[in-house]
Amino acid sequence: MRNDERGIGLVHVIWILVGLLALVALGLHIYHSVRGSSVRFSTPYQAVLLTNGSVYFGHLQDYEKPHPVLTDVYYVVSQTNPETKQVTNALIKRGKELHEPDRMYLNANQIVFVESVGENSKVAHLIAEQEKR
């Protein structure tokens, strides 16, 4: 074999390796896309902070997708007593609004962070109280 033939053979081997690596990368991407979310939360409810400062509590699904879904949604409403200036907070369940929403489709780019709601937290106890009603 001449040197130029060995060089051409080496180029072919390199292109075959590059092609195989590209196929493996594509396969992994497809596998992870089809497999679904690998994020598992340790508690039933999650707190989701959005870029606009809103915090919602609920069951978060499809967290790794572009439009995660939050169901069984709660939020906090603060009210100030004009006479005493004392602030009270109330946990409100979504769904009583005029359009009666049963879920929120979120834009993943608007999520600042997600945290689990501790099972012994004040929020978890307030949700449990509301579910009893």
Type and span of the H or E element at 59 = strand 55-61
Cα–Cα distance for residue pair 76/57, rounded to 1 Å: 9
Spatial contact of 69 and 106, defined as CB atoms under 8 Å apart: yes
Span 49-68, average pLDDT: 94
Q: Could you tell me which residues come within 8 angstroms of residue 21 by beta carbon, excluding any fewer than 6 positions away?
A: none
The predicted pLDDT at position 36 comes to 56
Report if pTM > 0.75. no
96-131 per-position pLDDT tens digit = 889 999 999 999 999 999 999 999 999 999 999 988
The predicted pLDDT at position 113 comes to 95
